[in-house]
Amino acid sequence: MTGQEPSSANQPFQAFVTVDALSIRWECIVAVDALPSATFPSWKQRSSLTESERSALATDIQARLSQTFLSQTKLSTHRASSGPTPVPLPEANLSARWVRLDPALGYVPIEGDPMLSDPPPLLGISVSAEQTDVDSLQIHWSWFPEAQKSVTIELSAEAFQASRIATPQKRDVSFTSLPTLSLTPLSQPTRVSYQKKFLSKAQIVLLVLSLTSLLVGFADFVKRRMQRGIMLIVVGVAFGSTFRFLNADDIAIAPVQIDDTIYANLRNVYRAFEFREPPAIYDALAEAAEGDLLEKLFLEFESSLTAASSGGPRVRILDLDLRKASIIEMKGARLAVSAEWITVGTVTHWGHEHTRSNRYRAVLDYVPSSGVWKLGDFALEEEQRLFQKATRRKVTGNEGIQE
């Protein structure tokens, strides 16, 4: 990895801001052992404290530093027509968790008692807010302990990175001319084609009953069984009239370009990762899935959103490679497909970007819904991690966006 990491020698704080099409995330990594000893007198003696005392110390540190982070750092967007507009950072979305730096994975949560961690733990603080159409950003930083004369603030906006340095003499920095960020466009789902059926089973039954009643009725009429003949003729006409109002069940035809159908559907499923609000996630998934599976996928995506809102990683699928798709069965309205695909995506938090690639093999069941093919169920047969790496943006001062 490249770039500077928080160190006890000279950098207690390092700050990151991530902008996407729908939100801003404001983050900080704190090396608590680099703060003045007067800030937390019990820190140096933490190994000799009881378990309950260490727990209370960890909670106190998290609460106090989180509050300081919120009160002494500010974000605002800027437009020529209205000037700076503060970005509301709700405390409900704030999280503080103890992390360590893993060379391969970036910052990862500490398992066990963080106060006994060796090397000393780092505190990762995150807070996010819904914000769209951000083309410039101003940041005010007032958090300067004696041990740190400057704070590097890094910005990431998808594939774009830049950095600024705040000092006690220059506490306000800005990022201008940010690139236009947008969501992945909706892939056009495949419409369902139908083969017309001449007669349905119900129509055949009614037709037989109608003809039988008419023939027997006319025979009785000829034989002067007038009352019975008229009754059967009326019944036959009634059956015939009912026949007219029944439609034959059309037969759904499998798509000719099955690869295009499956690719578009999977792209639309993964697209839901980009949304931030539950209703928007549900609507995005409803473009690709149906029935019980829609509810199941929504709950999984909502859980991922909750984790991201509380400081967890943000996920985005950048590329999808469909390796194969073949029809297993076409029965009634059910289309069963065997598919294999590879995804490449990013997971971002605390200035690190994890690139992950997975391979999947599954049986996908599709059903007609609102005139298009949608995923109704799936059975995952194999999932394989192809690679994962974490990278840090290289920090070289005020490079990147020109002010």
Residues 155 and 240 placed together within one structural domain of the fold: no
Residues 245 and 278 placed together within one structural domain of the fold: no
**What's residue 80's pLDDT?**
65
Residue 226, pLDDT above cutoff 80: no
Give the pLDDT band (50/70/90) at residue 146.
confident
Q: Please report, for the domain that includes residue 379, its CATH number.
A: 3.10.450.50
Residues near 256 by beta carbon (within 8 Å), at least 6 away in sequence: none
Residues 119 and 147 placed together within one structural domain of the fold: yes
Residues 24 and 166 placed together within one structural domain of the fold: yes
Range of the domain at 68: 13-175
Using CA atoms, how far apart are residues 73 and 26, in angstroms rounded to an integer?
Answer: 10
Residue 188 lies in a domain: no
Closest CA to 98 of 396, 294, 350: 350
Residue the block writes with tokens 């700076």: 84
Residue 48 lies in a domain: yes
Give the pLDDT band (50/70/90) at residue 333.
confident
Residue 192 lies in a domain: no
* Interstrand relation of 83-86 and 151-157 (parallel, antiparallel or unpaired): unpaired
Residue 4 lies in a domain: no
Residues 231 and 285 placed together within one structural domain of the fold: no
**What's residue 98's pLDDT?**
94
The mean pLDDT of the chain is: 82
Residues 141 and 221 placed together within one structural domain of the fold: no
Residues 120 and 160 placed together within one structural domain of the fold: yes
Give the pLDDT band (50/70/90) at residue 148.
confident
Residue 175, pLDDT above cutoff 60: yes
Residue 96, pLDDT above cutoff 60: yes
Using CA atoms, how far apart are residues 371 and 384, in angstroms rounded to an integer?
Answer: 34
**What's residue 394's pLDDT?**
47
Residues 237 and 167 placed together within one structural domain of the fold: no
Residue 12, pLDDT above cutoff 50: yes
In Å, how far from its chain's centre is CA 229?
70
Helices assigned H by DSSP within 169-290: 201-222, 226-244, 258-271, 278-286
Q: In what order do the strands lie in the sheet with 151-157?
A: 106-109, 95-102, 122-130, 23-30, 13-19, 151-157, 160-166
Six token digits for residue 239: 């059956």
Domain count, the chain: 3
Residues 222 and 294 placed together within one structural domain of the fold: no
